[in-house]
Amino acid sequence: MKGDDIADRLLDFAVQDLRIIAALPKNPTTGHIGKQLTRSATAPGAHYDEARGAESRADFVHKVRIACKEMRESRYWLRLIVRAGFLPERDLSAAIDEARQLTAILTASANTASKQ
């Protein structure tokens, strides 16, 4: 997968999650979860864009691994929203699957770059 394609998917993921956050019921618990998900869902795209302009291969790998960690965190918050019953699984299954796929892509990208 090309860098622009990954960057676009990461941006689309962030937008999708912002819409999910907006749909959460309003209470202190979901407010906390929404803030956490906002941070973790928007971070991977920013880190990946930084990685694309990295100063070295090691810098690229480091930034992509941070993006991967943030993506894993996003998946956690999405799964928590479902498990706690704040939104139905059918509304979040695509986002959870996309988080899984993007985690795999970012992991493979970091591993490939670190072996070169």
CATH number of the domain where residue 72 is located? 1.20.1440.60
What value does the mean pLDDT take over residues 97-101? Answer: 98
pLDDT score of 90 more than 90: yes
Quick check: 103 and 70 in contact, CB under 8 A? no
Quick check: 42 and 34 in contact, CB under 8 A? no
Q: Which domain holds residue 77?
A: 3-115
Distance CA 67, CA 49 (A): 10
% of the chain at pLDDT higher than 90: 97
Give 5-40 pLDDT, tens digit per residue.
999 999 999 999 999 999 999 999 999 999 999 999
Instruction: Give the pTM.
Output: 0.94
- Output the pLDDT for position 1: 61
* Domains identified in the chain, total number: 1
